[in-house]
Amino acid sequence: MAKIIITGGTGLVGKRLSKLLIDKNHEVVILSRSPKNENEFKWDISSNYVDEKALVNSDYIIHLAGAGIADKRWTEERKQIIIDSRVKTANLLFDKITELKIELKGFISASGVGYYGAITNDKIYEESDKAANDFLGDVCLKWENAAQQFSTKNIPVTILRTGVVLTDKGGALDKMKTPIITPLGSGKQFLPWIHLDDLCAIYVKAVEDDLEGVFNAVAPEHHTSKTFTKELAKSIKRPYIGIGVPSFILKLVFGDMAKILLEGSKISAKKIEKNGYSFRFETLKKALNNL
């Protein structure tokens, strides 16, 4: 049994992951800005505060905290919030772990497939590829660098570059369930995805099997916006129209953030599979039928 601290533990992934870890007899501690339950402890990056009681005797930190990439338009202020909510929180944890001389068995951090940039082409991106020279690439690179500093304390670091997480409540899938299902823009952009249960199982594997390094946390089946929405329409029995929502409308509504809707890459899942993970939901059809 391990003591595991989760940041962002009250979010979609954090709630499900906490339950899975507790079911496996691990002790889970949540760092929260507004603690409500007995296993939740306060932290606040604006005042560089973490309740030290949460950190004592901890074995692993799973760092999921971060302002939603697609929650609001990307103003310059919002862009800085997106970066700070990931980087400053990791820095705060590093400083406190160092100060309290806590010998973690591992630091496990979320990242995003946005690391490879908002690009649509035939290349299948792997973990060894470089970060893109755009906002999302910059966010992910800074995020991952903040996580990698734990390795200077001989703490193993694991990073999961995650695609769109499919869940039965909330998240991207809810927003896609419109009365008439359509692709976005050209519909040719790829949409890397993963079922919530597979993502959480990979986090559990990172803890229990001492998984170390950078891994793409995406399902092995590639889909474009067009093939994804077609499969979704079939699954929820709603009408599908293959003409995409025009790009100029999305740019008008979402501004610069429209890039993440209009562009997307094929991402390889081979490394995590070679490291012993077998996907429960390897096809979109199977994932949607479950959800």
Q: Indicate which CATH number applies to the domain containing 105.
A: 3.40.50.720
Instruction: Report the alpha-carbon distance of residue 63 to residue 60 in Å, rounded.
Output: 10
Answer whether residue 249 shows pLDDT above 90. no
Report if residue 152 sits inside a domain: yes
Domain hosting 205: range is 3-165+193-218+267-279
Report if residue 53 sits inside a domain: yes
Could you read off the pLDDT of 84-116 as tens digits, one per residue?
A: 999 999 999 999 999 999 999 999 999 999 999
Could you read off the pLDDT of 31-74 as tens digits, one per residue?
A: 998 888 889 999 998 898 999 999 999 999 999 999 988 888 89
What pLDDT sits at residue 70?
85
Instruction: Report the alpha-carbon distance of residue 61 to residue 104 in Å, rounded.
Output: 8
8 Å CB contact between 55 and 100: yes
Answer whether residue 199 shows pLDDT above 90. yes
User: Phi and psi dihedrals of 128, rounded to 5?
Assistant: -80, -10
Structural domains of the chain, count: 1
- Stated as kind and residue range, the H or E segment containing 231 is helix 225-236
Using pLDDT thresholds of 50, 70 and 90, give the confidence band for residue 261: confident
In whole numbers, what is the pLDDT of the chain averaged over residues? 93
Residue 164, classed as helix, strand or coil, is strand
Tell me 246's DSSP state.
P
Report if residue 66 sits inside a domain: yes
Write out the two tokens for 282: 């390897």
Residue whose tokens read 């869940």: 167
pTM higher than 0.85, yes or no?
Answer: yes
Could you read off the pLDDT of 132-189 as tens digits, one per residue?
A: 999 999 999 999 999 999 999 999 999 999 999 999 887 888 888 889 999 999 999 9
User: Phi and psi dihedrals of 101, rounded to 5?
Assistant: 55, 45
Report if residue 181 sits inside a domain: no
Report if residue 200 sits inside a domain: yes
Instruction: Report the alpha-carbon distance of residue 159 to residue 217 in Å, rounded.
Output: 9
Report if residue 244 sits inside a domain: no
Mean pLDDT on 250-260: 82
Report if residue 156 sits inside a domain: yes
| Helix axis angle, 12-23 to 196-208, nearest 10° | 50
Residue 187, classed as helix, strand or coil, is coil
Of 187, 97, 185, 209, nearest to 147 by C-alpha is: 97
Report if residue 288 sits inside a domain: no
What pLDDT sits at residue 225?
94
Using pLDDT thresholds of 50, 70 and 90, give the confidence band for residue 253: confident
